[in-house]
């Protein structure tokens, strides 16, 4: 049984915050493939194209037939724990600070044996559900979980390390005016967030949705404009040291291609979508990345909502897509920078959302509530790449398969 987490005590201001350390980070090129799968909650293992043997650990040639054609394929997620241990001693600073640590040998239904992180509710002899998850170093690791959910299983200390569950955490949502913001705040509170700050740009511009955030318990509207470095510096000065999760919902969407479009709007899109993310990273990144070992509510995740067209543009939204591609690139750099501190950078990709700026588009579109659910699920599952809705998932799949074909297909759209 997992012991449910208690809310953290207030910090002792005389004690040094624990130094963030990382689990071992060195991986082979093939080994990095686990992280790619883990980032999006896939369970892809190398599978021999010639003989079908599933390979683990990742390698460069089939251990059955020597084929070097080892594509990553979604694999049976079940297995059985055949041995377990509780590690009490480790020369590694990261694990030393977290001992004892449980690990086990799991016989995968797909064939190989994997050494796994063991959830507290499983042990030798148990049938388990396997996941590839990202560890604190941003690398993919095998995790053996109970076959069916157990009470408070997400509070297991190992799970707490591997996910960015909002429970007991303090969350900054950067743009209250985003269509998904009300549902997102609710979903974060429902997941146990201790407090949600919601950024409001240009408070001098009245808007009806404001009332939905006012006077709510554990919700505070704060002045925040991602286009204004000063507002970010001021806010980071106030709450940067206790922001455990940041979800950037600020988005500037305008239809129009490139040739006939307006560089003023394009600049606004860049300012909000790309440079805004950069400014957020500059203002909040260092503080969060320095607090990734700071107790139960240690900083865990910096997330941003992106359009799936960050991968390949919809010519109907040329400037917007350009800003999204730029934002994705900024996020990837932040991911590399955050990784050194153990902070996760999560991109939540959405297809067209149900809002004013996608009015003319046919369904399916992503409802604000669905987007909010997707964001919170990504945090709970500890993902780095989340594709919300059918359009985003379809686009990602086509992009993975062949970016060149996708570009041409999107170019032919009416």
Contacts to another protein by CB under 8 A: 23-24, 26-28, 30-31, 34, 56-58, 63, 82-92, 94-95, 100-105, 107, 113-117, 124, 135, 137, 139, 141-142, 202-206, 208, 223, 225, 227-231, 254, 262, 264-265, 268, 356
Stated as kind and residue range, the H or E segment containing 403 is: helix 403-411
Question: 173 has which bridge partners?
Answer: 198, 247
Q: How far is the CB of 305 from another protein (least distance, A)?
A: 19
> In 3D, which of 259, 43, 10, 197 has the Cα closest to residue 132?
43
Q: How far is the CB of 95 from another protein (least distance, A)?
A: 5
Q: Which is nearer to another protein, 85 or 218 (CB)?
A: 85
Q: How far is the CB of 326 from another protein (least distance, A)?
A: 17
Q: Which is nearer to another protein, 15 or 206 (CB)?
A: 206
Separation CA 315–CA 411 (nearest Å): 6
Q: Which is nearer to another protein, 59 or 398 (CB)?
A: 59
Q: How far is the CB of 408 from another protein (least distance, A)?
A: 30
Q: Which is nearer to another protein, 56 or 387 (CB)?
A: 56
Separation CA 131–CA 315 (nearest Å): 37
Q: How far is the CB of 211 from another protein (least distance, A)?
A: 13
| Residue where the block lists tokens 């809002």 | 355
Separation CA 361–CA 15 (nearest Å): 55
Q: Which is nearer to another protein, 68 or 409 (CB)?
A: 68
Find how far residue 142's CA is from the centre of its chain.
17
- 3-state secondary structure (DSSP) of residue 134: strand
Pairing of the two strands 219-223 and 385-388:
unpaired
Residue ranges of alpha helices (H) inside 108-255 are 157-162, 181-190, 229-239
Q: How far is the CB of 68 from another protein (least distance, A)?
A: 16
Q: Which is nearer to another protein, 268 or 337 (CB)?
A: 268
Separation CA 306–CA 323 (nearest Å): 10
Find how far residue 168's CA is from the centre of its chain.
18
């Amino acid at each position: 049984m997992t012991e449910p987490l208690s809310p953290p005590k207030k910090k002792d201001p005389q004690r040094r915050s624990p130094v963030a350390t990382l689990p071992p980070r060195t991986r082979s090129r093939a080994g990095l493939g686990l992280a790619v799968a883990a980032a999006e909650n896939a369970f892809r293992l190398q599978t021999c194209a010639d003989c079908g043997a599933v390979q683990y650990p990742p390698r460069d040639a089939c251990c059955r037939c020597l084929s070097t054609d080892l594509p990553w394929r979604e694999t049976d997620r079940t297995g059985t724990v055949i041995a377990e241990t509780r590690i009490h001693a480790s020369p590694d600073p990261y694990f030393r600070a977290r001992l004892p640590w449980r690990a086990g040998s799991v016989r995968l239904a797909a064939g190989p044996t994997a050494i796994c992180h063991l959830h507290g509710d499983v042990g030798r002899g148990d049938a388990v559900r396997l996941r590839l998850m990202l560890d604190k170093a941003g690398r993919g690791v095998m995790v053996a979980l109970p076959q069916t959910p157990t009470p408070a299983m997400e509070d297991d200390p190992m799970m707490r390390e591997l996910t960015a569950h909002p429970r007991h955490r303090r969350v900054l949502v950067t743009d209250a005016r985003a269509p998904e913001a009300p549902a997102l705040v609710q979903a974060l509170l429902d997941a146990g967030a201790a407090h949600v700050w919601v950024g409001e740009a240009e408070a001098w511009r009245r808007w009806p949705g404001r009332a939905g955030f006012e006077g709510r318990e554990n919700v505070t509207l704060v002045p925040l404009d991602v286009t204004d470095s000063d507002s970010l510096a001021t806010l980071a000065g106030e709450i940067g040291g206790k922001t455990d999760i940041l979800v950037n919902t600020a988005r500037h969407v305008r239809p129009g291609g490139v040739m006939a479009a307006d560089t003023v709007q394009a600049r606004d899109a860049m300012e909000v979508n790309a440079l805004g993310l950069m400014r957020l990273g500059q203002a909040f990144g260092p503080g969060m990345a320095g607090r990734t070992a700071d107790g139960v509510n240690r900083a865990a995740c910096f997330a941003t909502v992106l359009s799936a067209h960050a991968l390949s543009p919809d010519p109907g939204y040329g400037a917007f897509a350009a800003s999204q591609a730029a934002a994705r690139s900024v996020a990837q750099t932040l991911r590399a920078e955050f990784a050194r501190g153990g902070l996760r950078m999560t991109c939540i990709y959405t297809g067209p959302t149900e809002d004013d700026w996608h009015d003319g588009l046919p369904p399916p579109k992503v409802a604000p509530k669905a987007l909010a659910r997707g964001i919170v699920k990504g945090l709970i599952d500890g993902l780095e790449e989340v594709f919300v809705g059918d359009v985003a998932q379809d686009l990602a799949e086509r992009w993975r398969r062949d970016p060149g074909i996708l570009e041409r297909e999107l170019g032919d759209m009416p």
